[in-house]
Amino acid sequence: MTRTAIVTGAARGIGAATARRLASDGHAVAVLDLDEAHCAETVAAIADAGGEAIAIGANVADAAAVADAVARVEAELGAPTILVNNAGIIRDNLLFKMTEDDWDSVLSVHLRGAFLMSRAVQVHQVKAGWGRVVNLSSTSALGNRGQANYAAAKAGMQGFTKTLALELGRYGVTANAIAPGFIVTDMTRSTAERMGIGFDDFIAGAAAEIPVGRAGYPDDIAAAASFFCSDEAGFVSGQVLYVAGGPRA
Ligand code: NAP
């Protein structure tokens, strides 16, 4: 069945792969990112593959922008019942060097963003009596040096997910989280740059620590998101799936 999905942070990386995957699963997809122009590539890839997509520019941490974005999706693609809260940023630093702004911006995009988007979309999910929410957590939720802000946000995503599952289950809405390990995207590229390591060497170093012997790719995460968004996953809710090439990466 064709449904309308919103994927946040879908201009690139994991969000772009998830948007493409949900479109190939037959859904109409709103490709949402900070800058609408940056969404063009993902939208074109979906259209080239025969799918339906629109670009939406919005900051997920801004309540008014979120309300406008969800209203636009409803008007142009139909009421959204699938939501993937993927938009994210990193501002890594050891605790003693971490600024209040590093803390606030990371918590704001991940947690406030997921909260605002989910609150706006659940209206349509409850009305439809069906919905899927997928939240991006991370293996960093288990603790990661230099990421006090990000680890707190990603652990928070897990508690948020479980609570949505409890509150929205009676309306046919499931909520699950995916906790990726090392995925090759611009986010990990920027970490390599900050550490002064070539990206290929950084990927090889990460792969050496991962039980399946390779780094992850955005399509690995998109596949898990596709399952959680499917009709047949209707009895799976409140779960955190580590997609990390092993129990922890
Ligand atoms: P990415 O390549 O950096 O892409 C993130 C996207 O989110 C960017 O297009 C970015 O837009 C957008 N974004 C940032 N702030 C936003 C906001 N306030 N409103 C709307 N969009 C916003 O990241 P990724 O590696 O694909 O990561 C996607 C998600 O997976 C994130 O939640 C990340 O924390 C999580 N994750 C990633 C990994 C990994 O290894 N890559 C591992 C675990 C979890 P701009 O380009 O304009 O900033």
Per-10-residue mean pLDDT of the chain, 249 residues long, equals 96 99 98 98 98 98 98 98 99 98 98 99 98 99 97 98 99 99 97 95 97 98 99 98 90
Instruction: Please tell me the predicted confidence (pLDDT) of residue 182.
Output: 98
Topology (CATH) of 4-181+217-242: Rossmann fold (3.40.50)
Decide whether any atom of ligand 1 lies within 6 Å of the 202 Cβ: no
Test site for ligand 1: of 68, 144, 185, most ligand atoms within 8 A of the Cβ: 185
From 132, 135, 170, 133, select the one nearest 240 (Cα to Cα): 135
DSSP 94: -
Domain ranges of the chain: 4-181+217-242, 182-215
60 lines ligand 1 (CB under 6 A): yes
Which structure tokens are listed for 232? 């047949």
Backbone angles phi, psi at 222, to 5 degrees: -60, -35
Q: Is residue 31 a contact partner of residue 6, using CB atoms and an 8 Å limit?
A: no
As annotated, the active-site residues are 150
Predicted confidence at residue 138, as pLDDT, reads 98
Contact 70, 80 (CB under 8 A): yes
* Contact in structure between 245 and 178 (CB atoms under 8 Å): no
Q: What is the rounded distance in angstroms from the CA atom of residue 121 to the CA atom of residue 33?
A: 16
What is the predicted pLDDT for the residue at 249?
60
Predicted local distance difference test score (pLDDT) of residue 248: 76
